[in-house]
Structure 1
Amino acid sequence: MQFKAIISPSPNIRIKIPIIKQFSLSSNLRHPKIPLKPFNLCFPESHQIPRNLQKVGCISPSQEFLGENLQTHEPESEINPEILNLQPSKPTNVAEEFANQSTWDQIIEIVKFSGPATGLWICGPLMSLIDTAVIGQGSSIELAALGPATVLCDYVGYVFMFLSVATSNMVATSLAQKNEDQVQHQISMLLFISLASGVLLFLLTKGFGEWALTAFVGAKNMNLVSAANSYLQLRALAWPAILVGYVTQSASLGMKDSLGPLKALLIATALSGIGDIVLCVFLNYGIAGVALATAASQIVAANVMIDALNKKGYNGYSFSVPSLAELQEIVGIAAPIFVTMFSKVALYGLLIYFATSIGTHVVAAHQVLLNIFGMCSVWGEPLSQTAQSFMPELLYGANRSLKACFYKQARSLLKSLLIIGASIGLLLGTAATSVPFVVPNFFTSDTVVIGEMHNVWICFFLALSVTPCILPSEGTLLAGRDLKFISISMSGCFALGALVLLLVRSQVGLVGCWSALVGFQWARFLISLRRLLSPNGVLFSEDLDHFKLGELKVA
């Protein structure tokens, strides 16, 4: 987006310029004094939001003013000699204070922010892990059926994470630019897009779900289709709630709030676990009971996250139809992210497809390992979210008078994120790799499946240990709006992983599948790190115009 920086004519002198008193509705938009309506649909022709209060002649957020005394309404035009000093302005926002800290202090602050955010990313894989453990104790066939079913459920939902990333990026950047009057409208537009996409996915699943599963598993594994389709159809009931939840959760994270969404997902995880036990263990509903419990918990989580957003003064039930121009701006952000997400999901889908083609025991072992991998890899997601929440203030913030200082602070922040990521990667890689050896019967009692899991421990460790370093690197690229590069590089990494998969999977089975994943993960990390360290990267280049998109105008 093209945002206009507010630059002072002098780095040390604050000039008070008289302006005509203005009336602004921006505070009312964020903190409405009337009860929020349960549903509000806005069309672009009738939606008009004024810009935020004008800020002139200021060099930092602490020096922004209206040019008049709000109590006496008297204009102020003279220069106050008492404010003339040679001291540099102190940081006055969270991002600047955070970036000015030492590396160790930054690490502590990152942990404080990302600690609750970790729970957000763990809840989803934890629900899948619970599903896997419960189903694995009953039937190897249903455990294997979870593989193709999750491709058309969880993985398709992961593709739509571009809505989540776009929301967080847009909200954080708008707040960094002091464009608070745009935030509600941006949220409303993205809520409408997510709701429409969720309804479309529900209809497509109902109409073509069984056909897609049949084509995916192939003629050798037709015995998996019935169980997989039962799971898929029940999970499809929650599609609208899932995508709306993506937007509301990411809007809160863009406001640097991770506690509200965490509360929602903790409730959802508890409901999913209780539902699995009641429906599967006591009522013997099997894979259908697991799907029903998960879908119900996701619907509850979406409603709790909407309520958390409402408490911040925004309307989580407001759905605004974007105009054609606004839709083009959103697509400009979301399309490269969609390509990125699709590349990841496509590779994971290929892994399951080839594992399924090898045999039932192989895909069952792959399903267990992939769930452990997913559960552990999300520990790096809060580092990505930290970069996306704090980097925009340093790269695109309103205070741009000290660009070189901000770039140095941004690089320092990335260094802290990578240190944490490397530590987490080694710890999780070691712990997760030991699970199939220490507690193999936790997921399945089938000795053949356990043996397949033991064969890939080296590849499993190499793929998992680098993941927490990948995510903050890519999160920094997303925060810097280097979207074209990240989408092209991800597509290239997908092509490399798919090529390795085609070449080695027939000779070495499941080991070949995980070797392809190792190549995919390490290529992502090395390419993104090289881009960030490049003189033309977002952390070094003082001309960020080629990374920005056009300003998203409020209709």
Structure 2
Amino acid sequence: MRVVRFAIPAIGVYLCSPMLSMIDTATVGLFCGTLQQAALNPAVMIIDYSARTMSFLYTGTTNMIATSKQKKTADEIKDSFIGSLRFAFLIGTGLGGLILLTSKRMLVPLIGNDTIDTEVIRAAWKYVAIRAFGMPAAAMIGTSQAACLGLQDNKTPFQIIITAAVMNLVLDIALVGRKIPWVGGTAGAAWATTASQYFALGLFFYKFTSSTRRQQQPAAKGKQAIHKRFVGRKIEMESFFALPCKKTIQDFSPYIIPVTTTQIGRCSTYIAMGHVVSSTLDTASMAAQQIITSIFYTLIPIGDSCSLAAQSFLPSIISAASDSNTNTDTDTTADTTNTTTTTQQQHNTSSAKSQSEKPVANSTIIDMNQTIKNIYKVAGCLGIFLSLIAISIPFACPLLTSDTAVTSIVQSVVPIMFALLSTHGFFCASEGILLGLRDLKFLGRIYGIFFVVVPILMLRLKYIAKVGATNNIISLLSVWNVFLGYQTFRILAFLSRVFILRERFSNKASDKNGNGHGESPMA
């Protein structure tokens, strides 16, 4: 029940960006037509996939806060959080500037179709240029969400994201239908999303810095009440915009390469999919692809909540095991250096310590195994829920487009969506467990392989379409079939890795039981 109570509200954490993009897709499709909606396919691709390269900020913040809350004071956690926000602002600003400088040149090669309507290119560029200004807010929102989750406060992010989504919808309705070039259409959708992001960031700062009557908590609750007010004071603007300290960068350094490699490996697949669709298929297929990906990205956070739960619960278990081993090693060293103790006394002391350590090691094994089992149970239930939504997609099409050709293409992919969404919870749970156990090297390496192999398979479809007798050989369904094979392999690989790590943890903890001492179970 702890996992369920955490996972359900945590859905809103990953829901922010895809929900805003989904609202943009729906309003543009209904108010502006198929061409403008097709333009969102490459535009959203650039924005959302670029934003994923900042994921190391969120993974690092969640893990550091979840681990440090067992050991550090409120002031230390507050300083770590402010340092994370500074680093996030720096990364977000740099990424936004990079997008502005390069995205205009990237659009045509990304689409890969020289005969595409110029209106699609112009509409896509407007959306990208405006959304780039929201990157600093996106980085700090993600970091704030991650800090809340590290403290197991999932209600604050959920409430803020829902509020921001409502604001985005209102602004979309007000702006998208206008005929002013840089206000209506895709530009209006981009302004609505960017404004909503900064509004959400303002709500996070208000939550973190405003005084509250609930800040006086019973002493027994200790660090569990830190999330009520863990910044504790107004953030001074000059101090906030200072460069992050060396310690903050060092804290994030273990996550930068593995997590970024993981996200690039993921994004390469989606980019290859978008390129194949836009360069091989027609405008209706581009619009259908944007609708399908918007639905997919809006639903998969339901499974991603299992990943967040694993990243929030498992680090403290592993940290407790490491602390136990550290204390054991220290005590053993002290015993061996005491030359005045008799051999019999040493033997008795060692036996007593061994007996006292066994319950600690056994408890760690039980805690980890039970947590993993519960996360998978929740993942299975969420998979059933997602599968029911997947078969309801045809009924949602009238809310997303008025083009019957686009609707027909979307409906052809529904069986693939059913297979993907029904199993997505197990994939997310497995990946979250690997992140919680800090198996970053494995994730970095396997996504490095995906980065090369999966785009090759996707581009093979483009080649087949060009050499075939007719372009109808390849359809949007063909692209999503390749993705289904990729997802199936990921699930099997990650489940196997979780099983191996769990057995390794149990074996090393068992060795500690038998010997009375040993190294960290995850070493």
User: When the two structures are superposed, what TM-score results if normalisation uses the length of structure 2?
Assistant: 0.78
1:172 has 2:71 as partner? no
Structure 2 counterpart of 1:416: 374
Structure 1 counterpart of 2:433: 476
Distance 1:446 1:545 in 2: 59
Distance 1:465 1:409 in 2: 27
1:293 has 2:185 as partner? no
**Secondary structure of the equivalent of 1:397?**
helix
AA aligned to 1:313 is: F
Match of 2:491 among 520, 525, 550: 525
Give the CA deviation at 1:539.
Answer: 4.6
Distance 1:370 1:377 in 2: 10
With 501-510 and 151-160 compared, the bigger mean Cα shift is at 501-510
Structure 1 counterpart of 2:149: 253
Structure 2 counterpart of 1:220: 115
1:120 has 2:77 as partner? no
The answer to whether the 8 A contact 1:482-1:538 is kept is no
1:385 has 2:385 as partner? no
Structure 2 counterpart of 1:310: 209
Deviations 1:231-254 (A, max 9, x none): 111111211111111111111110
Distance 1:415 1:387, change over 3 A: same
Distance 2:131 2:248 in 1: 32
Give the CA deviation at 1:364.
Answer: 1.0
- For residues 139-538 of structure 1, what are the structure 2 equivalents within 5 Å? 139-178=33-72, 182-218=76-112, 219-221=114-116, 223=118, 224-281=120-177, 285-310=184-209, 312-314=229-231, 317=235, 319=240, 321-324=243-246, 327-358=249-280, 359-397=282-320, 400=324, 401=357, 402-436=360-394, 438-504=395-461, 506=465, 507-534=473-500
Give the CA deviation at 1:133.
Answer: 1.0
Structure 2: which 5+ residue stretches go unaligned?
211-228, 325-356, 466-472, 510-517
Distance 1:547 1:149 in 2: 42
Using the aligned pairs only, state the percent identity.
Answer: 27
**Secondary structure of the equivalent of 1:534?**
helix
**Secondary structure of the equivalent of 2:230?**
coil
User: When the two structures are superposed, what TM-score results if normalisation uses the length of structure 1?
Assistant: 0.74
With 350-359 and 484-493 compared, the bigger mean Cα shift is at 484-493
Distance 1:154 1:513 in 2: 20
**Secondary structure of the equivalent of 1:188?**
helix
Distance 1:340 1:255, change over 3 A: same
Structure 1 counterpart of 2:332: none
The answer to whether the 8 A contact 1:264-1:305 is kept is yes
Distance 1:546 1:327 in 2: 27
Give the CA deviation at 1:220.
Answer: 2.6
Q: Which has the higher helix share?
A: 2
Distance 2:439 2:166 in 1: 38
Query: How many pairs are equivalent?
Result: 440
Give the CA deviation at 1:336.
Answer: 0.6
The answer to whether the 8 A contact 1:498-1:516 is kept is no
The answer to whether the 8 A contact 2:134-2:197 is kept is yes
Give the CA deviation at 1:419.
Answer: 1.7
Give the CA deviation at 1:178.
Answer: 4.3
**Secondary structure of the equivalent of 2:133?**
helix
Deviations 1:318-376 (A, max 9, x none): 54644556534422122211111111112111111111112211111111111111111
With 198-207 and 346-355 compared, the bigger mean Cα shift is at 198-207
Distance 1:356 1:434, change over 3 A: same
Give the CA deviation at 1:290.
Answer: 0.9
The answer to whether the 8 A contact 2:277-2:289 is kept is yes
- Please provide the CA RMSD for this pair: 2.4
Give the CA deviation at 1:163.
Answer: 0.8
Distance 1:131 1:463, change over 3 A: same
The answer to whether the 8 A contact 1:125-1:371 is kept is yes
The answer to whether the 8 A contact 2:504-2:521 is kept is no
AA aligned to 2:367 is: Q
Give the CA deviation at 1:393.
Answer: 1.6
AA aligned to 1:483 is: L
Distance 2:70 2:495 in 1: 25
